Structure 1
């Protein structure tokens, strides 16, 4: 602990801060990183006028002007933010920042308002690492708030109504106490300086209600997001919901997403907007195992409308032009759809024995008929998905003693293990359209080997080559689990995935 405080003290000295006679809620101010033009701050009543130079707050190192104080624990910081002047770079930034220390390459999280009106939660997870971002679907905000709760950061944005609403999206980043919190401005041009006004600044400790059970009974908010798989890996908020939604699929034309909520299947434009319910012919107890046929005209749904509450598989036309067709109705098992074969003739699904609780993978013709086993024991087998060429079936299984990803031939023969970390719980392999990559969800070892529960902290979305030739990399960390990415969710062009993140209602 003594060493930790010494390191913080050294970083403060290195940044050469000045301590003004009155900075209100803050203690110090100064330039961070290499800024050709020195920044400054003026306090006029309750409004902070902050001027900053510097090339950017981005990448592996930052340059900006910072007004800060030290804090620890949970915290909310909010402000109305407005740039002075009409010019300047469209990527100039003014915002609220939590930062581990004053090193130019320090770990941080902020909510930034850009010169062109874009709002994003941006973060660097580790010193010297890359910067990532979650882009809000609200621009030109009247007010923003950055929120630290436990090891997660969230943000809220006020739209035209002037009221702060959850922007959606979160990231798991563990700041060590003490950390710094304050106001930041970067010109995005090291030869210039930009000024922003921060008014109605609030620095508060949230009063959060204790949630004794974070399982299925917990009340949550949900955010439907897309994420670039390559490059910066930007996450973009499609829509934030004050209720639970689950399991997005991407339409074949890339224009819309399908998800389930309150037993219904819904369609929403990728750019956001109002959701529209899909006509599922009275089957309105749908769970999160649903997906489109290869030609995009049909959807397989897993529905529990019958009195026995067993999940059955049906096929519906997206335009409602034909009656619902029941494909699997097994009185001795719960049946959950997971995959169409690329030629559209076969469905792969998970059969859960109603009496013995066994999890096995079965196949059935899309037109109906007698099902047959594909992958059966040892252990639990789940989450099947075909490779785009139809040669292989990918799935997750406990047959190694841990929940890991496997690949078998399309008929279920010759299974090969793809992931090998015994302390991770790997679920739901989703193949990119070109068949080269797998995106999947990974839990920590605080989760039972056979479980994929909701509302967990140590949840990662991961990416790996489909042939298992390289170890997986972490795409992002979030609060999520069951419902986050259960079903196929790659965009048709293979550049993005869709998923759901969550937040407990407190």
Structure 2
């Protein structure tokens, strides 16, 4: 079942200035829980999910309009637009990825059938700049003979045309949120591989061939979902309090900005707190940067006193 609002809660879509931290609300509802805004290529609309469906929201704040997805099962909040702006790739709760054309042509399933006994699930987080490859977190059971074995999450690349997957990481460390840099050479993601403290996700990057994996920021907070800006000069991400497990909803969180130098390398001592809000799951799961990198979109979920 799709997630719903708590009594007295609302979902508010914010457009944030990454320089000042100032924000403005472009949509608010006490009945519909919207999540994870992407920005369309023309810069005039956002694409979000709500109630297991996909929706378009003009940035000037009119009503939601449903994006048809005939034949696609209920989706979650992992969805990304293709670079040409003609389609949205969505993660459905059947574990597969689907390409949804915005001109209302028939959607198609991208990912291949799941290996027997492995229980694969695919969670989309990025598309390469040339539109050919998806960056995906693949959840699976590493021991097919043991259906009760713990889930493993790894960074993978999926060919958009064929659905063929190749793994960038493959180990017991929990990974999530893998996303391409604008030049297509690196993947940013969050991972628990750098600490023995359960749930202590930290930001990392790795080359698309799996080499040069490194921790980017060392922090006491639990850091999730790094989103490189289209201009390659900064990364927005979400921070939870120390000790948080996973990326739960309804928590006090901080949106942060990590500056990058001209070569796209991180400047970890320049991290800035941008905005504090009540949210978490659904706030910043996917890349919400505007095409010109001057704004990004997120969602907060305040509860009335």
TM-score, length of structure 2 as denominator length:
0.88
> How many angstroms apart in 2 are the aligned matches of 1:291 and 1:489?
9
Q: Aligned match of 1:255 in 44, 55, 58?
A: 44
Q: Match for residue 92 of structure 2?
A: 303
Q: How does 1:340-355 map to 2 (within 5 A)?
A: 340-354=127-141, 355=149
> How many angstroms apart in 1 are the aligned matches of 2:248 and 2:80?
21
Q: Match for residue 238 of structure 1?
A: 26
Deviation at 1:233, TM superposition (A): 2.6
Q: Aligned match of 1:487 in 283, 286, 305?
A: 286
Change (3 A) 1:496 1:444: same
> How many angstroms apart in 1 are the aligned matches of 2:70 and 2:113?
16
> How many angstroms apart in 2 are the aligned matches of 1:299 and 1:489?
13
Q: How does 1:90-489 map to 2 (within 5 A)?
A: 218-219=6-7, 220-230=9-19, 232-242=20-30, 243-304=32-93, 310-330=94-114, 332-354=119-141, 355-401=149-195, 402-421=200-219, 423-448=220-245, 451-457=246-252, 459-466=253-260, 467-471=265-269, 472-489=271-288
Change (3 A) 1:369 1:268: closer
Change (3 A) 1:368 1:395: same
Q: SS of the counterpart of 2:111? A: strand
Identify which of structures 1 and 2 has the higher relative contact order when contacts are C-alpha pairs closer than 8 Å and 6+ apart. Answer: 2
Large movers: runs of 4+ above 6 Å: none
**CA displacement 1:34-59 (0-9 Å, x = unmatched):** xxxxxxxxxxxxxxxxxxxxxxxxxx
Say which one has the larger Rg. Answer: 1
The answer on whether the counterparts of 1:429 and 1:439 sit within 8 Å (CA) in structure 2 is: yes
Q: SS of the counterpart of 1:279? A: coil
Change (3 A) 1:445 1:470: closer
> How many angstroms apart in 2 are the aligned matches of 1:328 and 1:254?
33
Deviation at 1:358, TM superposition (A): 0.8
Note the residue ranges of structure 2 that are not aligned, 5 or more in a row.
142-148
> How many angstroms apart in 2 are the aligned matches of 1:428 and 1:330?
26
Note the residue ranges of structure 1 that are not aligned, 5 or more in a row.
1-214, 305-309
The answer on whether the counterparts of 2:5 and 2:33 sit within 8 Å (CA) in structure 1 is: no
Q: SS of the counterpart of 1:350? A: strand
